[in-house]
Chain A
Amino acid sequence: MICAMTPGLLSTHWYRVAGLRPRLRGHVRIHRHVYRGQVWYVVEDRVAGKYYRFNPASYRVICLLDGRRDMDTVWARLTEQLADDTPAQDEVVNLLGQLHTADLIQCDVNPDVAELFERRARQRRRQFMSRYLNPIALRFPLWDPDAFIGRLVRGLGCCGGGRVLFVWLAVVLPALLLVPPYWPDLTENFTEQLLAFDNVLLIAVVFPLVKALHELGHGIAVKARGGDVHEMGIMLLAFFPVPYVDASGASAFVKKADRMLVGAAGMLTELFIAALAFYLWVLLEPGFVRSLTYNVIVLASVTTVAFNANPLLRYDGYYVLLDGIEIPNLGTRSNQYWRHLADRYLFGIRTSEPPPATAGERRWFLGYAPLAFAYRMFVALFIALFVAEQYFFVGVVLALWGLAANLALPLYRGAAALLRDPRYALRAGRVRAVLGAAGAGVLLLLFVLPVPHHTHAEGVVWLPEQAILRAQESGFVEHVLVDPGQTLALGAAVLEAVNPTLAADIAVQAAKVEEVHVRRDAAWGVNPARASQLGEELRREQAALERLQDDARRLTLCAGAHGVLLLERAPDLPGRFLRKGDVVGYVVGEYLPLARVVVPQAEADQVRLATRAVDIKLPQDLGTTWPARLIRQVPKAARDLPSPVLGQGGGGEIIVDPRDQRLTRTLESLFEFELELPRTAAAGYIGSHVHVRFEHPAEPIGQRLWRSLRRLFMSRFHV
């Protein structure tokens, strides 16, 4: 017995419990679970519907609490055979405290009623906090569906799981097989169908219904496997009401397949619904009902797979994954493990013990926490931004709320623990150093360290009208007079074309002139009035003839500027029909090629004031970068593109107004800049679009973030 009295196992507070005779409450059930080969005991509180997991060492103590033995006797039993896992008295006292807090034990003494009330208030407060702290998932419990689901399960005759599986497969598999042939029909105009206004309304109605069935699926699965379902209610997911069911009754299930089934039941239900809707969609004629089924298909398949199945958020996928890999509480334990790593290696607390876990579990921990954190942040901010587009104030509040709950609060708690927790007292210097270094590092990175900074834009290679050779008159090219690359003087002829119609017209017109001339001569002296009338007509016809002859002269194309001739596909030209106004080539020399670049209003300032250098790349030759020079800026914002090439209709990136026929009307204001291009670069690519990179002075990220934040607020929310 002497060894049991040594200090390591003894507690100074043992006297508080030594004489107690606690026992487990009558309604408590214990289930033995095995996770990754390790035994755990799940204690089920059937009244409160809560579940607690204990390790075998704790279970040994719990087994001994029968209400007849006092704790001294329990202790004697525990220490009959000392082993490394014999709990110390402190641990037993803690365990009793936990059991009491969980309302799992009762003792032979008057309980402290005041404490009971206080604890209840505390629990409520915690529940309240957990319910309302997360703005995108507020929960309101409404109803105890246990009896209802029980009847449902009996009605379905669900006990034969095989039959259900068979029906499910019989419905879902053919649907899956039918999907490929209908794929084009299904995906045609997917976003437009889905996001059209009246459809959004339809979704708002259908979504809760589908989700209600989803939740009912969970409930039925729990009930069918012998659990209880005692809470159902409404959850406001990003302010959108969605039903939920408390399926924690599954925690007690011994077989992991059962637990996984409960987790997956919702998704399975939705897939089943999607399959049924798919059949209807195939059969029905286009109309309201068909678009309804279309929505159901999308909601019940795409959203469930995209959101519910994702294990990084704590939805169904998470729980299925947990049961699948047999790591209960993955999220929390992963965080604990990271905390241990920080303690051990960052703060140098050499005595820090890793939370008990196998090597395999630790690998999961290592990966899960950062991924989940990043994803959670992403979703919170994304939803906030999404909402903010419609309701600015709500969006900003949501974003702040999300930031507070996901980032600020954990950071604050961590910092408070670092400063207050006695564990860190011994390493106060190192803790301060690490915190200081981290803070300084972040500040340095954000506000001191300059990072190269660029603005990207698109432009079009351009020449002034005079330097562009356009066909002045429609006609077939007869021969090209000058070879491309030769230097031309102003007005030199470049090619000759013929237009047989024009020639015929001239001949007809000449004959007409001749005719009128003859008639006038005939009338002259006979009928002076008639003659003068015909004289007028003759002048008119002659003018028409001259016009036609002018046209014919324009069939010979002359250079509008002096310089080097650039012809597009010169050898092909002879015999080709040119319509009036078609671009035949360019004369570069007097006028150099420019790039007309459009920059969104938001970035114009930066380009105008802080451009150190400009690089261009041509899409035809992306490997080469050419330097360019900013020569002019158009001092106004406009909504017209210099060329349709820049708009989305012409292969560019700028969104144009789809109602505009010319495809140059943009939706947002743009500023235009002109760049002087190196002669060698642009030759041959006139009219083509060009990628432009404006290089700005290197600048810390913090300043840039701050500027873009301000810009975001100014442009998006008009404040």
Chain B
Amino acid sequence: MSSTPMAFRAERAHAVYPERLDADESTWDAWARVAAARLWYRLRPLLFRSNRLVAAIDAQAADVARLDDQALQRELARGARTALTEPRAMVRAFAVVREAAQRRLGLRPFGTQLTGAAALFAGRLAEMPTGEGKTLTAALAACVAAAAGVPVHVVTVNDYLAQRDAASMGRLFGFFGLKTGAIVSGMSLEARRAAYACDITYCTNKELVFDYLKDRVAAGGRTSLAQHRLRALCRGRQHAGLLLRGLHFAIVDEADSVLIDEARTPLILAEQGSNRDDPAVFTRALALAAELEAGLHFELSPAQRVLQLTPAGRAVLAERSRGLGATWAVARNREQLVAQALRALHLFHRDQQYLVADGKVHIVDEYTGRVLPGRTWEQGLHQMIETKEGCALSVATRTQARITYQRFFRRYLHLAGMTGTAREVKGEILAVYGLDTVSLPPHKPCRRVFLPTLCCADEAGKWHRVAAQVTAVHAAGRPVLIGTRSVEASERLSAVLDAAGLAHRVLNARQDADEAAIVEQAGQPGAITVATNMAGRGTDIPLGPGVDELGGLHVILTEYHDTPRIDRQLLGRCARQGNRGSVQAVVALDDALFRTHGGALLRLLRRLYPHGQPPHWLLLGLRRQAQGGAERIHRRVRRDTLKQDRTLDASLAFAGNAI
């Protein structure tokens, strides 16, 4: 298993550079493959067979330690290519890289990291507990692959991490004469091209996908490199340089959030359009929408985030828009406009789904709590929200290319991923990406303490309880990290804490410039930090002096998320690498998750326990039901999106530009 090295067995697409053919698998094939893999997961011993690999590498350790630097470099340069196919050579290569890591970085990769690196090298998803040193794990695998001549993309979740990891691991790569590049937003095309030309490129998923889309547009869709050059030649100009060299090998950090949570949001490469929309149309649509009644004129399902006009609503609309001009005379037009206006009013809320800053509407990623710069909603929704918030209308853009993560990452010839939380979605990851998940044990036993969940009747009660908990822990001198689900919630909590006289810092999409600094400080004695759920993800929270003895960082979860994975990610902020730490959830029965997915059980609990705090097992049941329901809907939407994309591609195959 661990000894299966990298092999490019994928069928290559007809494209301008190497990438995998994104072939449609028949339903039965996919079903059989997933069923077989499920069986395999059952049969495979719980503990990944790490010991044998680690033992083999250890056996080489003494031998490798005797080599001098030049010999180490020669050893890798000679053996790396064989390591792609030969298990023994791979063991040797990892032993060499481990020795180099110790010499250059002062870090000696421990067993879990070596096993993880081997798993990545073999194209699997390594599930490692939070704080197990994923950066180094990725670097080991990247180093061997790059030494073998395979261009490697290490995909991180934000620019900061990309830069930091490229800088820190660059020393290891540099030791073997491998060049390291990092892509951050705002770089010029030239700089990007140079970075992608490096052996190992650290980048964020978003930048990577947009660069890929730019290449596709430049190449004019489905053309071979030869065709591309010939065309440029015939048109009498230099062929537009491509940014990437191909999709060879990607190591995706926080793979579950990239491959699953964000999988279906399309990334759209757009150019500025020429037409400016008439603001009056949107104003009118909002005005008309405001007059319609939920349930009577339109149906709203917050759980599925779906909104539809009813026949009654259409009739009312037809009547009220009589004489308003050509735009409103066509039924389809006015209904679409008003439906979007209704969505803007009822499904998109300020400081939850978006922020308003500098007179512009910024989309907030619901999973990471970060602003997604440069992204806009489609089909006039963005303009509608701008109108609703009184911002100037942005210019309508013209789509040039679009792709979703789930389609993009399937195109890698060799894909690997790392995450702390993949258990719940390993079936789906396997079905969609063909990625086998291996779970690695922590190398030090976990000392995280789980305190019983507190449940309140409503939100106000919840903030009160949170403040009380914070006061208690703070009094002991321990640092506290409080995770909230939305920007709005973080600010509300901040106000409550202010009122209680607790000094704290807030980390959310509004102020993520000094994110790293805030996170650095969050582990100091007595620090109180309020953060939207995944802010600071990927960075360690270093504990201040004496904090560990006091009990480590205390994390408070103030609202369950749509999936338990994200809860676990937040809880994983404390008690890393053998440190102490404690976690507690403080939730309310009127949390959004419970409201939308709680169903009959929630109504029952509300009646039986009007003041909150139902018995633990009932609360657990409610949580399971709500998160299960939410996850089911998300999974379904992801599957439908992929299917729709495929259907569309198949029917538009004649257009010859499948992007």
Contacts and interface: CB of A to CB of B under 8 A. Distances in A.
B654 A96 contact: yes
B326 A7 contact: no
19 contacts: A1-B275, A3-B327, A7-B337, A8-B334, A8-B336, A9-B332, A9-B333, A9-B336, A82-B326, A96-B651, A110-B656, A119-B653, A350-B308, A350-B310, A350-B311, A420-B636, A425-B304, A425-B306, A426-B299
State the 8 A-B residue pairs at the shortest beta-carbon distance, nearest first: A8-B336, A97-B651, A7-B380, A115-B653, A109-B656, A3-B327, A100-B654, A15-B399
B486 interface: no
B366 to A, nearest CB: 19
B38 interface: no
Interface stretch (A83-91, A535-543, A682-690): A83-91
B402 interface: yes
B331 A426 contact: no
B304 A426 contact: yes
Given A6-B327, A7-B379, A422-B640, A17 B655 contact: yes
B654 A94 contact: no
Interface of A: 1-3, 5-10, 12-17, 20, 22, 82-84, 86, 88, 93-94, 96-98, 100-101, 105-107, 109-112, 114-116, 119, 350-351, 420, 422, 425-426
Which of B326, B337, B654 has most chain A Cβ within 10 Å? B654
B327 A2 contact: yes
A290 B421 CA distance: 86
Nearest to A425: B304
A112 B658 contact: yes
Contacts of B308: 350-351, 426
A179 to B, nearest CB: 57
A644 B110 CA distance: 100
B14 interface: yes
A198 to B, nearest CB: 50
A650 to B, nearest CB: 62
B633 A425 contact: yes
Contact of B651 (A100, A111, A426): A100
Contacts of B633: 425
B56 interface: no
B652 A351 contact: no
A425 B398 contact: no
B364 interface: no
A343 to B, nearest CB: 13
Contact of B655 (A2, A94, A109, A351): A109
A88 B266 CA distance: 21
A44 to B, nearest CB: 20
A105 B655 CA distance: 11
Q: Decide if the interface of chain B is mainly helix, strand, loop or mixed.
A: mixed
Nearest to B599: A429
Contact of B336 (A5, A7, A107): A7
Given A96-B654, A100-B653, A5 B304 contact: no
A16 B277 contact: no
Contacts of A6: 277, 281, 327, 333, 336-337, 380
B401 interface: yes
A116 B633 CA distance: 35
Contacts of A422: 636-637, 640
A50 B223 CA distance: 32
Given A12-B402, A426-B299, A84 B340 contact: no
Contacts of B222: 110, 112
Interface in B278-292: 278, 281
B429 interface: no
Given A112-B653, A115-B653, A5 B275 contact: yes
B301 A84 contact: no
B309 interface: yes
Given A17-B652, A112-B222, A350-B311, A426 B306 contact: yes
Given A84-B331, A422-B640, A425-B306, A20 B655 contact: yes
Nearest to B650: A115
B233 interface: no
Contacts of A88: 332
A12 B399 contact: yes
A15 B400 CA distance: 6
A91 B306 CA distance: 21
Interface in B633-659: 633, 636-637, 640, 648, 650-659
Contact of B654 (A1, A10, A111, A425): A111
Given A12-B399, A350-B310, 6 more contacts: A7-B336, A7-B381, A16-B659, A107-B656, A110-B656, A115-B653
Interface in B321-356: 325-327, 329-337, 340
Contacts of A115: 650, 653
A9 B275 CA distance: 15
A586 to B, nearest CB: 75
Contact of A8 (B223, B332, B651): B332
B396 interface: yes
A133 B435 CA distance: 36
Nearest to A93: B652
A96 B50 CA distance: 54
Interface string B258-280: 00000000101000000101100
Contacts of A83: 330
B25 to A, nearest CB: 12
Contacts of B656: 107, 109-112
Contact of A98 (B306, B396, B402, B651): B651
A107 B330 CA distance: 31
Interface string B596-632: 0000000000000000000000000000000000000
A84 B306 contact: no
Contacts of B275: 1-2, 5
Contact of B653 (A3, A7, A111, A426): A111
A12 B381 CA distance: 12
A414 to B, nearest CB: 17
A16 B221 CA distance: 10
Which of B326, B335, B400 has most chain A Cβ within 10 Å? B326
A105 B396 CA distance: 31
A86 B637 CA distance: 30
A86 B653 contact: no
A425 B637 CA distance: 10
A82 B651 contact: no
Nearest to A421: B640
Contacts of A119: 650, 653
Nearest to A91: B332
Interface string B465-501: 0000000000000000000000000000000000000
B69 interface: no
A13 B651 contact: no
Given A12-B379, A15-B399, A426-B304, A3 B333 contact: yes
B424 interface: no
A105 B654 CA distance: 9
A13 B402 CA distance: 9
A8 B331 CA distance: 9
A5 B277 contact: yes
A111 B222 CA distance: 10
Which of B309, B650, B653, B655 has most chain A Cβ within 10 Å? B655
B310 to A, nearest CB: 5
A126 to B, nearest CB: 13
B372 to A, nearest CB: 17
Contacts of B655: 16-17, 20, 96, 107, 109
A8 B653 contact: no
B654 to A, nearest CB: 4
Contacts of A420: 636
A13 B654 contact: no
A83 B333 CA distance: 10
Contacts of B378: 12
A82 B652 contact: no
Nearest to B633: A425
B564 to A, nearest CB: 22
A225 B659 CA distance: 48
A161 B621 CA distance: 79
